[in-house]
Amino acid sequence: MISTFEVANIRCGGCVNTITKALKEAGFNEISVDLSCEPRKVTVDTVDEAQLAHFITTLRKLGYPLANEAIGKIDSAGLQLKSFVSCAVGKFDLVNDN
């Protein structure tokens, strides 16, 4: 089942690269990230509720929570910091892949 989610903290191609790579490594297929809207949208092929939970957990570990999640200020700051690091890693990987 193809599902689309609004995701917070996605800013650029570095973020897209990190998210795409992590989701592929986690076993997801047909991943796309839409940077043309705010909040950004991630589309992925999920099969069941367990895989959906794994998708959400994978994004959160990178600092990209779902946009509609209720997050406290401290957790929000921590997730934003994680996303900055994930973004930088994604940009670095893009440069090294070319």
Each residue's pLDDT tens digit, 46-73: 778 888 899 999 999 999 999 998 888 8
Model confidence at 15: pLDDT above 90: yes
Residue with tokens 């193809």: 2
Q: Which of 48, 58, 45, 50 is nearest to 7 (CA)?
A: 58
CA 40 to chain centre: 9
Q: Are strands 29-34 and 40-45 parallel, antiparallel or unpaired?
A: antiparallel
Whole-model pTM: value is 0.88
Domain spanning 2-97, CATH class: alpha beta
Measured N-to-C along each axis, helices 73-97 and 49-62 cross at an angle, to the nearest 10 degrees, of 80
Contact 93, 20 (CB under 8 A): no
Amino acid at the residue 19: I
